[in-house]
Structure 1
């Protein structure tokens, strides 16, 4: 029997999962993503540590595979935006700026002044935000000139792992969509933008379709990982897009809610949005890994991260409050958290706002407020933010609003959060019961590349995973609709000026401390 290996290089963990062609997992392993945080709002990876972790999880997953020679394909899904600069020998020249690191805001501001936010949106479909690859490349050029001078290749993280596995470079549209260097309309590297920012196209890998065979596992990678050299390495894609693919969310009228450390709200479209307003609202879009389609993408920079944060806040000062205890505490409070609201902007604002200086906040605290209200308010804040992210898209003709949502990711195991999301949105939530949907999406693309499936439609049709369903509670929905309309929608606009002043103060204190 043929087996498919999917890799998921995520924000907090790196996973290797081996699947049968019907989507049933037979072996898996995971390890924390090695991340360095030298100062607030900075984070980076080291390429050699990422690769060592990938090798580790592959080897451990294969321990549970009786015959590893049955693995016929390997493909990688990963976080987007973060890229590895390589020299002519294929060695990293500098640390890898994490996707969510916002040190690159000055470079984003420079792009706005010298290229123009609307010009960039019209070509790439991306709103001007500091997280995108182009901003990182400009930062390296300014602050790491020697490393930049020695670099000849830029590879996103999934492309870097595929390169280490096969020795071949290749990019596909779902990841290239997040660079701010690909024209979304013709799916080619944008020559006008490259010329304006003086970046040589030869640094970028060739653009090919998702699920394209790059080549077999190299002898060196086989020796390191235990994979057979007969296994074919294929292009994968952006983690959230691969998850949508595995969930079958490929057509307009569907919506994926992918819940992890961050959260994605993902709606397939038949054509890119062209109204610049969507860019000003912070929405991004890109090409789907399912050939020929597009998507519009919102979400939250901190979703699961907010839950981890409140666990630390509610802990005993040494250890965070246990996850189950946090959710149990939240469950003891009625909908509305007794009037306490939480704005989940622990890194920055989320669409439809573009504001890297926004800050999180609890609103409505009183002397009666306890950990139960705070815990539930965080869950409700995440859910309010989800709805606030996708509802404004209704005005765009390319977007068909969903009648239900499909949810994937670790956050789906939080049954209370899923119930709150369903009641607050008024949508049935279908919880995908596939093991590690993002890795599964990558594995299916690998199967396409290896010829196990003729195309992406055939791959999805072969899946045999189940789904559970969460339905809105009508009386809760009434409460949430009132809070959303009368209070929550006013919280960010009211706090934004003060949050921006606080952000400036924080930055000045951090800069002074670093001197």
Structure 2
């Protein structure tokens, strides 16, 4: 928790509800942090591999963080609040505003049969041409279909299906509204029309009314009521704005809002996001696995790919070779013992799915190039280099499919602290990588939405430009760049294609 004294200038509150934590932060109109508080989120597991969030516990965690932040600032200066959250996770609410069941977590696998239904009845290209999304179990429409099939008594009482950010906003102001950013992660939104898709909802027989009224991120939807004020410490009447999905919120905070801008968000997973002025819903894009949705800057669209196991892959190799309790710094030191290129060892980091532009659920991770001299340091460095290669592969795919060159690459997240990985990334990218000093980009993005909705700034561009965010550049020398680009072009780019037939054969041998 961090605090700073502040005058009566406008204060904006941003909240971010993530997969494992909820954070609240207060900012002044220049984006300077006044207070930040974080709380862990609790989950339940009603069956193996299933994960759920209790709605009241979610709200309590969010309310507690906000209350702690408000206690450390001058509450009378609070101008507005907005909430960002993880996507593909929602609370079904009845007509009286009561939650009907726990929220199914975005990564819960129970909805695989519903995703398979879409493949069989409409097909991936049709769904992508409407939504900009590949067919995956994670998306909200599949969770609604699962509830309708397995809990019809619950489905029959649903008045509002509220994504997590929208649910927290609803608890603050009493207005059920669905922000377009999270709506575009349901696989039920017509991305071009920015309306619920009658074709998709008719196909799966889901009532459009429960999905709610659509509002752009940053639009004022209500004000904090008395009960929410007592719970959070926010003044009654504080403006509540429509929020957005977490990754686009972080991108907004870092000024990723023009074609050619790329955000590399490096955590347990890695999200690579760029900006479009209009959706690109071609068959080629549908086959690539890239996902499109509405940006937190609501006039724009984002296109994203990324690694399903990024920091998780480093944690995996650390646990495998040194044990789960070994210090992370020791792992990086060991990786630095190995030479660039890891003694000829390459790692394909498909521990969980392939990375766009490859759309292949059967792909597996692999080491190649091992010999009798291969040591743990070679393997660890190969994993770190493999993650950098794979991220560049995804960026190259975006550039090729969308016909642009990445002019600006900004990185955030815990992975940016891995100096070796950032050096390899810079060598591969061939241009500087800008690392932000913003510790909580997502809450800052939500605060920007609050600022625009309360007219602290006249528009999104003015708000983003006013944020006092600084960056440091990571560059690579020419020799390093030539080495890694050659390794990438001559070996890594062909690695998936070469190994795919074997991985498909391995997958086919596994028990169902």
Which residue of the other structure, out of 133, 136, 144, is the alignment partner of 2:143? Answer: 136
CA separation in 2, counterparts of 1:20 and 1:56? 21
Which residue of the other structure, out of 369, 372, 375, is the alignment partner of 1:370? Answer: 375
CA separation in 1, counterparts of 2:221 and 2:307? 33
CA separation in 1, counterparts of 2:106 and 2:379? 29
SS at match of 1:85: strand
Q: Quick check: 1:140–1:148 contact (8 Å CA) kept in 2?
A: yes
SS at match of 1:150: coil
Structure 1 spans left out of the alignment, 5+ residues: 509-515
* Matched residue, 1:224: 231
* Matched residue, 1:400: 404
What TM-score do the two structures reach when normalised by structure 2? 0.92
Q: CA deviation at 1:366?
A: 4.0
Residue 332 to residue 124, structure 1, CA distance change in 2 (3 Å): same
Q: Quick check: 1:25–1:435 contact (8 Å CA) kept in 2?
A: no
Q: Quick check: 2:289–2:359 contact (8 Å CA) kept in 1?
A: yes
* Matched residue, 1:246: 253
Which residue of the other structure, out of 400, 405, 409, is the alignment partner of 2:413? Answer: 409
Residue 228 to residue 471, structure 1, CA distance change in 2 (3 Å): same
Which residue of the other structure, out of 386, 390, 394, is the alignment partner of 2:395? Answer: 390
* Matched residue, 1:511: none
Q: CA deviation at 1:160?
A: 1.3
Residue 345 to residue 251, structure 1, CA distance change in 2 (3 Å): same
- Superposition pairs of residues 24-423 of structure 1, within 5 angstroms: 24-36=32-44, 42-65=50-73, 67-316=74-323, 319-396=324-401, 398-423=402-427
- Superposition pairs of residues 462-481 of structure 1, within 5 angstroms: 462-481=466-485
What TM-score do the two structures reach when normalised by structure 1? 0.92
CA separation in 2, counterparts of 1:14 and 1:371? 37
Q: Quick check: 1:14–1:54 contact (8 Å CA) kept in 2?
A: yes
CA separation in 1, counterparts of 2:455 and 2:78? 13
Q: Quick check: 2:424–2:484 contact (8 Å CA) kept in 1?
A: no
Moved more, 144-153 or 456-465: 144-153
Moved more, 288-297 or 18-27: 288-297
CA separation in 1, counterparts of 2:57 and 2:360? 32
Residue 145 to residue 227, structure 1, CA distance change in 2 (3 Å): same
CA separation in 2, counterparts of 1:391 and 1:39? 40
SS at match of 1:35: coil
Residue 8 to residue 192, structure 1, CA distance change in 2 (3 Å): same
CA separation in 2, counterparts of 1:16 and 1:504? 46
SS at match of 1:165: helix
Residue 202 to residue 497, structure 1, CA distance change in 2 (3 Å): same
CA separation in 2, counterparts of 1:342 and 1:46? 39
* Matched residue, 2:26: 18
Equivalenced residues, count: 504
Residue 487 to residue 120, structure 1, CA distance change in 2 (3 Å): same
* 1:188-229 per-position Cα deviation (integer Å, ceiling 9, x unaligned): 111111111111111112111110111112222222222222
Q: Quick check: 2:21–2:38 contact (8 Å CA) kept in 1?
A: yes
CA separation in 1, counterparts of 2:233 and 2:245? 25
CA separation in 2, counterparts of 1:463 and 1:452? 12
Structure 2 spans left out of the alignment, 5+ residues: 1-8
Residue 415 to residue 61, structure 1, CA distance change in 2 (3 Å): farther
Q: CA deviation at 1:437?
A: 0.9
* Matched residue, 2:3: none
Q: CA deviation at 1:248?
A: 0.8
